[in-house]
Amino acid sequence: MNGYAVVDVEATGRSPWRHRVVEVAVVQLDAGLRAEGEFSTLVDPVGPVGPTHVHRIAQEDVAGAPRFRQIAPRLLELLADRVLVGHHVTCDRAFLEREFARIGVVLPAVPLLCTMRTARRLLPEAGGFGLSACVEAAGLGWFPAHTALGDARATVELLRHCRRTGGVEEPAPPAPVVPWPRLAPARSAGERGGVPLLRRLAPLGPWPAGVEGPRALIGAAGDE
């Protein structure tokens, strides 16, 4: 394994079978939890964006965002041969698995590491085990919750905190090991010379207690 891929997805609903990814972020870490790179973009779900009151993504926000097929080759590269990490990682994995299945790609079994499960053991004082509650219990400050990149970065900090304070149980590698899939770029993306990304950005805290940080702003993140 080549380190970790910390993931977060925002979706149009709760069901990976009926709903679609509307934002995705990946933060790559090496074995020592040092950052190696990050990727994030809004995704056009080809339909309603779902619970705007939760993820704060409006329908007009995804205008011009890539569809999942356009970013799928890059996501496969980012996830390849890494431990998949998330807060309730099986949910993130399920949404990614279904999105890849829709374009005919089988996402292989990979080792999973769940910071929610780790936090239940190391942060029993947390009022709940959602990401915000765990981050607060760990004293890690404010972050732009329910933005994919904000949640992924917060999960990275929570993972580091858990390793410092009590160790992290490393997952066993899956068996049998299967070749990692590769996917050619989408034809339309190749014609344009790259896939234009739309990224939500918000400054990280910490912010004073009771003060919510500024709303995430949307801007072009270049091409991938």
What pLDDT, in 10s, does the model give residues 83-127? 999 999 999 999 999 999 999 999 998 899 999 999 988 998 888
* 73 token code pair: 């080759």
Classify residue 9 by burial, with Cβ atoms within 10 Å: 0-12, 13-18, 19+.
buried
Domains of the chain: 4-223 (3.30.420.10)
Per-residue pLDDT, 172 = 53
Per-residue pLDDT, 125 = 86
Residue identified by tokens 């009590």 is 166
CA atoms within 13 A on the CB side of 97: 14
Regions of the chain where pLDDT drops below 50: 190-191
Per-residue pLDDT, 42 = 96
C-alpha angle 113-154-4 in degrees, rounded to nearest 5? 35
Per-residue pLDDT, 174 = 55
CA atoms within 13 A on the CB side of 139: 2
Per-residue pLDDT, 126 = 86
Residues 129, 186: Cα–Cα separation, whole Å: 39
CB neighbourhood size of 188 (10 A): 12
Residues 86, 156: Cα–Cα separation, whole Å: 9
